[in-house]
Structure 1
């Protein structure tokens, strides 16, 4: 979650509320300077390179990076006949992106004449994330979407007693779980493998990807599908939960200090697809690179 995604304050179902005497508009847009160098790669070439990128936050969407047209390589953007209308920002012109012998239609867009209150987006263009080969901050690939500065993860050690049951079977019993707090989400509890009866876990095919934690693998527990998951090689930023197991409270019985846990309202996670040309092996390699100390 971030500023406008999932249960963020500008999202469609915020977990909190603004303490104002008058209700806010149903849709609030927020733009801010990224203050990081961002580059875009397509067709094996660098097509955009800028230190003047702005992020646009819209309800229900990941943040989108907008580059000055002057920081895009000449000839990359080919205007299309397609024009759409944005509810707040007006006429939207679309472009085919072409470079390195490749081209993709509807891969970039620009607000032709944004209103005065949105003039920071004038003369800027956004690239469809999955249509591009890759996005980078400096020399490091950024996966999933532009980094949301309002997304935060904190991990804390605790001695609270966590027990997971599938009927009469004890699947996990631990007094040393980690609790992961993620912006806008209810706490998630991660249990060391040594405190889990792994005979109760049946690995299943398929993985999901979190831009902030990495690749997650899933397990069935008895008749409960996808009732547990693990980030076997989590991003270094959340490396403390690598290999640990978390359990879905609406699939199996999860007790914390004797109190039955339940899935918090609105906490259904929307899986994020993997970027174009990015396979699980490359994600793991990316994680290894990020954990390697610099020169």
Structure 2
């Protein structure tokens, strides 16, 4: 019997997974290089959906010391297959789902959390808290989290008719969307600003995507709470995604979207509610 690839990949969701990489990887603390290695690996703890970098202990030049437990709140996301919830990337590094030793890398007055899994395959490595360090792959900075080599993004120009409604008001109408397909996540519809029918104002919300860069969020202030943080754009994406520059993408999770006359169901994702709406 044929197996759907998503199901095959998710069979390891509750396992500790790793994948060596061929890139030179550097981590900096306070501007000082504390890791410089050609032996890094991507590590997914059980239930994690995005990886962290693990590096050989021998390649850590900062002071590596045992640390007290780092407390972090769990943010769980239900999976379509009904299995154990995944950990949303907002779940802090200190929430571990595999046994190991909590450590800290120090350099002068700066420090960053680390974790040494008990698993013998990773016994000579430490996993580092991505957010605590600055990172370089080869000579290019990376942001958000390490990219998953088993995922990809496709962009396709389209002539589908896209209508976006908020609380019964049509806020966008386009026949020129750019569709962005990203494995597992809902397809996204990036629209020309000229096809947005209501004034949008930038909000104070700030997010970062490891693939697309730093996002500007937009609100339709005239629509009140229903218009809060309903869309985003990338004003300076990386070169490989330059096509999305300045286009407006509405959260399907927070608006009503009609594609070629068919009203879509709102997907349930970690972005279903605006920040601070709870």
C-alpha distance in 2, partners of 1:122/1:168? 57
Q: Specify the alignment match of 1:93 in structure 2.
A: 101
Check conservation: 2:255, 2:266, Cα contact below 8 A: no
Q: When the two structures are superposed, what TM-score results if normalisation uses the length of structure 1?
A: 0.71
| Deviation of 1:123 (Å) | 1.2
Q: Residue 270 of structure 2 aligns to a residue in which SS?
A: coil
Q: Residue 16 of structure 1: CA displacement?
A: 4.1
**Residue 179 (structure 1) shift:** 0.7
Describe the SS at the equivalent of 1:173.
strand
Whole-Å separation in 2 of the counterparts to 1:94 and 1:146: 21
The 3-state SS of whatever aligns with 2:7 is coil
- Aligned 1:100-179 pairs, distance under 5 A: 101-104=108-111, 107-111=113-117, 113-114=118-119, 119-132=120-133, 134-166=134-166, 169-179=169-179
TM-score, normalising length: structure 2: 0.75
Mapped contact 2:256–2:266 kept (Cα < 8 A): no
Deviation per CA, 1:5-64, whole angstroms, max 9, x where unpaired? xxxxxxxxx994249xxx957712221111211011113321111111121122225212
Q: How many residues align?
A: 242
The yes-or-no answer on 1:70 pairing with 2:58 is yes
Cα offset for 1:181? 0.4
1:242 and 2:245 are equivalent in the alignment: yes
Secondary structure at the aligned position of 1:200 is classed as coil
Structure 2 residue ranges without an equivalent (≥5): 71-93, 274-278
Distance in 1, matches of 2:35 and 2:272, equals 30
Q: Are the counterparts in 1 of residues 207 and 214 from structure 2 also a CA contact under 8 Å?
A: yes
Q: For residues 34-49 of structure 1, what are the structure 2 equivalents within 5 Å?
A: 34-49=21-36
1:1-295 alignment, distance < 5 Å = 16-18=6-8, 27-58=14-45, 59-73=47-61, 76-80=63-67, 88=98, 90=99, 92-99=100-107, 101-104=108-111, 107-111=113-117, 113-114=118-119, 119-132=120-133, 134-166=134-166, 169-197=169-197, 199-221=198-220, 222-223=223-224, 224=226, 225-264=228-267, 266-269=268-271
Task: Provide the rounded CA distance (Å) in 1 between the counterparts of 2:15 and 2:6.
Answer: 15
Q: Name the residue aligned to 1:11.
A: none
